[in-house]
Structure 1
Amino acid sequence: MAKKGTPKNTKNKAKHSKLMDRKKNKLRDYKIDRENRLKTMVKKMHELKNKPEE
């Protein structure tokens, strides 16, 4: 027979998925940030390297 009362693990599952989404978003933001910093760094180095000497 089916169990009566509140369903099992619904609160824990919701909390877990919320925390995992937060973790994924944090990692994605970190990757995007890092990628942008590297792009600017490379661009700056190219400018310095190709700068004509006076």
Structure 2
Amino acid sequence: MAKGPEKNNKNKALHTKLLNRKKAKLREEKTERALRLKALVAKINEQQKNEGRAI
């Protein structure tokens, strides 16, 4: 029995590699965004504390 044409595993591997890069990039951007947000919140909280003391 004929098994049919050989599967194209090279493209499949390259596509998986590309998707993994994309997922890693998104994950990294998400963590960077969270860190920026934490820094911003800390800065705003500090400003509010200073305003409370000045009044």
Q: TM-score range by the shorter chain?
A: 0.7 to 0.9
5+ residue gaps, structure 1, are none
TM-score by length of 1: 0.85
In the alignment, is residue 21 of structure 1 matched against residue 20 of structure 2? yes
Q: State the identity %.
A: 44
TM-score by length of 2: 0.84
Matched residue count: 52
5+ residue gaps, structure 2, are none
**1:37 aligns to what?**
36
Q: Cα distance, 1:9 vs. partner?
A: 1.2
- Over 2 Å off, 4+ runs: none
Give the alignment's Cα RMSD to 1 decimal.
1.6
Q: Cα distance, 1:2 vs. partner?
A: 2.2
